[in-house]
Amino acid sequence: MAKFKKVVKKKKAAVIESTAQEDEAVKKRSSSKNFRLLKGFKDILPTEKKYWNLVETKAANLAVGFDYGEIKLPVLEETALFSRSVGKDSDIVRKEMFTFTDQSNINVSLRPEATAQIARAYIEHGMLNLSQPVKLYYFGPMFRREKPQSGRLRQFYQFGFESLGSEGAVVDAQLIALANKFFSQIGLKDAVTIQVNSIGCTECRTEYKQELINYFKPKKKLLCDDCKKRLLKNPLRILDCKEAGCQSLLAEAPQLLDWIDEDCKEHFMKVLEHLDQLEIAYNLNPYLVRGLDYYTRTVFEIWPIDKTGSQVALGGGGRYDNLVELLGGRPTPAAGFSAGVERIIMLLKEKNIEIKQENIPEVFLAQIGAQAKAKAMKLLEKLQEEDIMVAESFAKDSLKSQLELANKRNVKFTLILGQKEVLDGTILLREMEGGVQEVIDLEKIIPELKKKLGRT
């Protein structure tokens, strides 16, 4: 008993010590002069907006085109939702979730992905009573406490498409077609490849897993530390390990496609036939297994064409026929796909894809003097009411610096309102390219400007 008390005391002391250390670290950070972003988190600045607009607009338009309804899901869920769906032995659940116990003693996590939530929402809102398949689209932040590096963030954005309620191979093919269309439409058609595989159903995988264990066991010494652990818990993941030692063993390893049953094989052949009919190029990749446990049958990923070693996928998905049932719903076959926005934007930049800047101001409104400033503020409202895109810098007083800004913003026209114009009831209209200036009656400036902008 005394010994037990000693151990408990020691443990308590260790917890107190580690909490004190954390408190100290937080205090140190908070008392430092400048706050900084947490590791793996990112601010998205206005200069990035055109890329975000492009990705979100194209994805949202495809959702409309392919008849997916948008769903907005919370960022916080019960931890068990993810451990049961994604798998308690997966990297995501083992080491990457931001998890805490809330004030009601519920164990919650920031969502690392949305497919589990989609299945939860499908069951919770009785969507099986709707016409099937139910097709849902989402866009939002996900959280994974990965080691931060290029393209690997702790908060990143995904958009995704999920189709629940049909086992047809045509659904898998359409999802791949949708992904293919998205990358074509943003100008990355030649910069990506589609990798496809089938991992069969739970039954055919059980035998295959044993076969894999039999193959790798005598070579265990050659596997990396992670794969040594995977050998018993999740041998399939050895197939997509990026370590050279593990990769060198793959050529001789038993192939999944030789082990999947006739039904799964037939399903996969149909998916490929549809892709051929749609003339979508793909790479049959026997080592593609995906890192989340819920997949069955078809799996696919979109890779940058020059993906090497540990470089990362832009998007991924597949079929998850057992997930809804696993979470307590009726058996509901389903498939989906999601893509990482930051990784897509990185590739857009790398490939110098030109993006049309939207919402560029057409006019700059400059003012000199207090009276003119007050009048200009009123005029700004009128211009905005007429949907004329206006830039201004009322905080500046010098005309020179205002004109410099107008040049920088690349506007076609600048309106200049000074003391004299206020008294005369006029305004100057300057055409920026030629530098020609006209005096216009202030009352007539809006129709005059609209004419010049070709908006009569």
Residue among 171 and 411 whose Cβ is closer to ligand HAM: 171
Residue among 191 and 376 whose Cβ is closer to ligand HAM: 191
Residue among 318 and 418 whose Cβ is closer to ligand HAM: 318
The least CB distance from residue 171 to ligand HAM, in Å, is 12
Q: Is the peptide bond before 361 cis (omega within 30 degrees of 0)?
A: no
The least CB distance from residue 136 to ligand HAM, in Å, is 10
Residue among 22 and 78 whose Cβ is closer to ligand HAM: 78
Binding site for ligand HAM (CB under 6 A): 113, 115, 144, 146, 151-153, 156, 158, 160, 162, 292, 313-318, 320, 336-340, 342-343
The least CB distance from residue 156 to ligand HAM, in Å, is 3
The least CB distance from residue 145 to ligand HAM, in Å, is 9
Q: What are residue 143's phi and psi, to 5 degrees?
A: -135, 125
DSSP alpha helix (H) spans, 87-154: 91, 115-124
Residue among 295 and 364 whose Cβ is closer to ligand HAM: 295
Alpha-carbon gap, residue 401 to 407, rounded angstroms: 10
Alpha-carbon gap, residue 241 to 237, rounded angstroms: 7
Q: What angle do CA 370, 373, 379 make, to 5 degrees?
A: 150
The least CB distance from residue 317 to ligand HAM, in Å, is 4
The least CB distance from residue 382 to ligand HAM, in Å, is 45
Contact, 109 vs 97, CB < 8 A?
Answer: yes
The least CB distance from residue 112 to ligand HAM, in Å, is 7
Stated as kind and residue range, the H or E segment containing 172 is helix 169-185
Residues 6+ apart with CB under 8 A from 114: 73, 138, 140, 142, 158, 160, 162, 338
Residue among 137 and 320 whose Cβ is closer to ligand HAM: 320
Contact, 187 vs 142, CB < 8 A?
Answer: no
Task: Please enumerate, as own/partner, the contacts of 304-308 that have beta carbons within 8 Å and a separation of 24 or more.
Answer: 304/191, 304/192, 304/347, 305/190, 305/191, 305/192, 305/193, 307/193
Q: Where are the beta strands (DSSP E) in 246-292?
A: 283-284
Contact, 196 vs 284, CB < 8 A?
Answer: yes
Residue among 72 and 400 whose Cβ is closer to ligand HAM: 72
The least CB distance from residue 347 to ligand HAM, in Å, is 10
Residue among 162 and 321 whose Cβ is closer to ligand HAM: 162
Residue of closest CB approach to ligand HAM: 340
Q: Largest alpha-carbon pair distance within the chain?
A: 98
Contact, 339 vs 161, CB < 8 A?
Answer: no
Give the chain's end-to-end CA distance (angstroms, integer).
Answer: 92
The least CB distance from residue 131 to ligand HAM, in Å, is 21
Alpha-carbon gap, residue 392 to 378, rounded angstroms: 13
The least CB distance from residue 155 to ligand HAM, in Å, is 8
Contact, 314 vs 348, CB < 8 A?
Answer: no
Alpha-carbon gap, residue 65 to 148, rounded angstroms: 35
Residue among 136 and 365 whose Cβ is closer to ligand HAM: 136
Residue among 115 and 195 whose Cβ is closer to ligand HAM: 115
Q: What are residue 27's phi and psi, to 5 degrees?
A: -60, -45
The least CB distance from residue 318 to ligand HAM, in Å, is 6
334-340/155-164 β-pairing: antiparallel
Residue among 315 and 418 whose Cβ is closer to ligand HAM: 315
Fill in the DSSP letter of residue 412: S
